[in-house]
Amino acid sequence: MLADLHCHTTFSDGVLSPAELVAAAALCGLGQIAITDHDTVGGCAAALKASREEKNALKVFAGIELSIEAGEDEVHLLGLAIDHEDKVLNDYLAVLREDRLNRTGKIIDLLKKLGYPLDEKDIMLLSPGVEALGRPHMAAALVAKGYFPNQQEVFDKLLYNGGPAYISHLKPSLAEAIKLVHDAGGLAVIAHPHAIKEQQALKEAASLGLDALEVYYPRHTPEQVAHYLDVARQLGLKASGGSDFHGIQGKYPPRLGCYTVSTQILNLW
């Protein structure tokens, strides 16, 4: 059976609602998916309910994707098979989301100065139900306003890390994030490790109790997959994999089910 252990929904920057994501996963024959929205577990309950309605033919794991404070660099940590009702985790995520909201206001101010006036309403109307506001929502609004032909151009010109309209947001340390995930009963997994400039972070994460590396990722070349398998082995970590499905036009993968791993990869059931 096939799995995709990294998927986003409309609760963060995905395009499908949790129920739509589950329906799409069932339709393409996946055996497991993990819901890994940025800084929110809000979509997990609806996805779990939808999977019960599919008579549990598809196993849904509750999860999270946390951005880690690492100076100029950004490390993403997945929590897989967490208890999405864990109170400490939920309270902490609420603080992160409040900060994302404040940051959105600051980015809107910068955009205005740069000649791209935008209203918070423009963003919210395009992304109803979003809990964790992020740069992709702002990029979508700038495209809808007609300033840019697609989201990637917005990132390339304005919103890239360190870009003219970039402002950071509150992020836990690696140690805090791994503890949050473990205390919520989940596995801590470093997402898309190729994107980390300071690869030393992998060793540090392993020493903090990291469980796995996301070795299988659509943007990893076969050489990178081999490399990260080797790194995982050396650091005593498991290998995980997922497509980072958002459903955003022009962002790979175009459809759920394009990039999968075995359901046995982490022995999650």
Interface residue list for Fe ion (CB under 5 A): 13, 76, 191
Shortest Å distance, C-beta 237 to ligand AMP: 22
CB nearer to ligand AMP: pick between 59 and 135:
135
Is the Cβ–Cβ distance between 246 and 136 less than 8 Å? Answer: yes
Which of 211/244 has CB closer to ligand AMP? 244
The first and second tokens of residue 258, run together, are 């394009």
Q: Closer to ligand AMP by CB, 134 or 241: give it.
A: 134
* Number of residues written out for the chain: 269
Question: Where do contacts with ligand AMP occur on this chain (CB under 6 A)?
Answer: 13, 38, 67, 134-136, 152, 155, 160
Q: Is 234 exposed, middle or buried (0-12, 13-18, 19+ CB in 10 A)?
A: exposed
Contact partner, 160, from Zn ion, ligand AMP, Fe ion, none, Cβ < 5-8 Å per class:
ligand AMP
In the bound complex, what is the minimum distance in angstroms from residue 183's beta carbon to ligand AMP?
Answer: 23
Name the minimum Å distance from CB 155 to ligand AMP.
4
Region of 39-47, 62-70, 101-109, 136-144 interacting with Zn ion (CB under 5 A): 62-70
CA dist list (Å): 55 to 94, 218, 237, 268: 32, 30, 33, 19
Nearer to Zn ion, 65 or 131 (CB): 65
Q: How many residues bind Zn ion (CB under 5 A)?
A: 2
d(CA 236, CA 124): 43
- Residue 84: phi, psi to the nearest 5? -75, -5
- The mark string for 22-61 relative to Zn ion (x by CB under 5 A, - otherwise) is ----------------------------------------
Q: b or e along 99-124 (b: 16 or more beta carbons within 10 Å of the residue's beta carbon)?
A: ebeebbeebbebbeeeebebeeebbe
Q: Which residue is nearest to Zn ion (CB)?
A: 244
Name the residue with the smallest CB distance to ligand AMP. 134
Bond prior to 253 in cis (omega within 30° of 0) = yes
Site string for Zn ion, 243-262 (x = CB under 5 A): -x------------------
Cα(124)–Cα(140) distance, integer angstroms: 10
For residue 32, the minimal CB distance to Zn ion (Å) is 17
Burial class from Cβ neighbours inside 10 Å (0-12, 13-18, 19+) for residue 236 reads exposed
For residues 72 and 162, is the Cβ–Cβ distance under 8 A? yes
Interface with Zn ion (CB under 5 A): 65, 244
